[in-house]
Structure 1
Amino acid sequence: MTKNHPDEMQADLRKAEWKIRTELAAAYRLVALFGWDDLVFTHLSARVPGPDHHFLINPYGLLFHEMTASSLVKVDQNGEVVEAGGLRRVNPAGFTIHSAVHMGREDAGAVMHLHAADGVAVSAHRDGLQPLSQTAMLCLEHLSYHEYEGVALNLDERERLIQDLGSKSMMILRNHGILTVGRDVPETFTYLYFLMKACEIQVKAQSCGPVYMPTQQAIDTTADQSGSLGKAAKLTWPALLRLLDARSPGYNV
């Protein structure tokens, strides 16, 4: 069998898809483990390798701690179910947001969107995310904003959302939540973790009274140092999988 034989190529694609399914299911479990989930709402998605413009998303009805690699639903860019291992229903609001990013950003291997309370709180703050911590300062260069337009059921919003996102890896959806984009699941989850941690710190700091702002020089220096933030996934992702194996096994079936 030659290297580019169709059967061998299909086997390679299936192997690559299973790896992404396992990583995405792990990300769902991690969101639940960190307490960032919102019942069956919000979504994490990943692009499926191959020419068909398919991506994986959660079936509407499963809690995040229940997610497995085989339970994820494969949909096309029109939101039509291509393959499902169980529940076939997909949240239309989730499709609107995630399809916008996957269709508008060729580099968007994964997209993650949360309604976690501290992220929503910062999204509703007049000044958005502030440079109150090193974590926040590492995020600011990666961050964009999108105005709230109602529950994301209007497909026309997709164009505005992708314009607001631009080339950034993090987005605050005003009065709604947060979103991150990356080349793959580990990178996207790393962005998600840093943005959520920055929001959590800000909510705590502002609840204590007047805050202490760093100098502009410190803010600028940290911004210059933030370019390699996504690369932290090489260290953090294997450790996170070990955490899941200990506390929430079974995601990889």
Structure 2
Amino acid sequence: MDDAEAIRRVRAGDPDAFGVLVDRYGARIERLVRGFIRNEEDARDAVQDSFLKAFSRLDRFDGRSSFYTWLYRIAANTSMDHNKKVRRRPPALRLDPSRDEDDRGAVDPPAPGPSPVQGASGREIRGRIDEALDALPDAYREVLVLREIEGLSYDEITPSNLVKIDLDGNVVDGGEHEVNKAGYIIHSCVHRARPDVACVIHTHSRAGVAVSCLTEGLMPLNQEGLQFYGRIGYHDYEGIAVYAAEQARLVANLGRNDVMILRNHGLIATGRTISEAFRRIYYLEFACRLQLDVMASGRKFAPPPPEVCAHTLAQWDDGAAAIGTGNDEHTREWPALLRMLDRKDPNWRA
């Protein structure tokens, strides 16, 4: 029995058909919940609550996403609500004589299920992870490498099912899914070499890849693209980026630039915040699309003279575009973009 048939039967008055969905997705939801809630008993309660909510709200399921995606969001929200309540509780009295006062910062052993320290015999491995994270600046203590998750379509990916790894590629949280090795190779070396960078966005858009295949790369043709004038790194294609030896060349070719074109591959944009990196990748992509449109016209180009390009670059830095200055790590339109996402899908934050 597939999901649609099980849902149809439940709606028709056969509550036992819901058991098919519980059997099918119970283990996956349990792994999800335990990624949020480390206490085993609380996690079991949250799993049960999630399925009860799904059953009672089944009439609200409209089929625009898969049933699992809908259930996933219910479970994630239930888990986060639980954690909010726990944080508001007064701390419990510690009765563990095995820890002294100097050991307050140790990490409690996780519940069974995917975790970075699963199977560890003691505090040593947990201590190494904490030590590595504590050595990073506060803004990067928990480096998030946002990668496409194996086995999920884009509309199923949410913040709660991303995989969190450290700079050495060790899974810190969300170990149910594999980490894209090429993504790790590219993103991690930028984070390691550029402490000013909190977000790296890498795309394989049609326009971006097309421009990456041109000898001249991105040309100074339009106002939006001139914010990158003289500030684009280029990295020659070496094959799928799965070898650590390529990292040094990636870093060298990026230099102090904020964006880079990977030849025959795609685009990279960096930022001090997610909003800043998004703004850069958005305008870099826009400039690539416009260049291809101009080239498709078959007419002679009319690029601005170098002095005008440099002047426009300075204007971007000074904030003349009215979207923030070169010294402003926040993007003015970012809150509006988040509101737009809320209108399109209120559950995207799950």
Question: What is the TM-score with the length of structure 2 in the denominator?
Answer: 0.56
8 Å contact from structure 2 (residues 199, 277) kept in 1:
yes
Aligned residue pairs total 211
How far does residue 196 in structure 1 lie from its aligned partner after superposition? 0.5
2:312 aligned partner: 222
Q: Say whether residues 1:146 and 2:238 are aligned partners.
A: no
Note closer, same or farther for the CA distance 1:110–1:205 as it changes in structure 2 (3 Å cut): same
Aligned to 1:126: 215
State the identity as a percent.
36
| Cα deviation 1:167-212 (Å, max 9, x = unaligned) | 1110000110000111111111011111011101111111001222
Q: 1:249: how far off?
A: 2.8
Partner of 2:226: 137
Pairing partner for 1:190 from 279, 283, 287? 279
**Which is strand-richer, 1 or 2?**
1
- Rounded to whole Å, the distance in 1 between the matches of 2:170 and 2:150 is 14
Structure 1 runs (4+) greater than 4 angstroms displaced: 47-53
Q: Does 1:73 align with 2:163?
A: yes
Asked if residue 199 in structure 1 is aligned to residue 288 in structure 2, the reply is yes
Q: 1:155 to 1:51 in 2, by over 3 A?
A: same
Q: Cα distance, 1:105 vs. partner?
A: 0.8
- Which runs of 5 or more structure 2 residues have no equivalent in the other structure? 1-89, 91-102, 108-135, 318-324
In structure 2, relative to structure 1, the CA distance for the partners of 1:230 and 1:177 (3 Å cut) is: farther
Give 1 or 2 for the bigger CA radius of gyration. Answer: 2
Whether contact under 8 Å (1:57, 1:72) holds in the other structure is: yes
Which residue of the partner structure matches residue 60 of structure 1? Answer: 150
Could you report, residue by residue, the CA deviation over 1:104-161 in whole angstroms, capped at 9, with x for unpaired residues?
A: 1111100000000000111111101001111111122431111111000011000110
Report how far residue 64 of structure 1 moved: 2.8
Distance 2:296 2:182 in 1: 32
- Asked if 1:240 corresponds to 2:337, the answer is yes
Deviation at 1:225, TM superposition (A): 1.8
So what's the TM-score if we normalise by structure 1? 0.76
RMSD: 2.6
Residues 145 and 184, structure 2, Cα contact 8 Å, conserved in 1: no
1:213 maps to a residue whose letter is: P
Letter in 2 for 1:83: D
Contact 2:224 2:287 in 1 (8 A): yes
* Cα contact 1:142–1:169 (8 A) shared by 2: yes
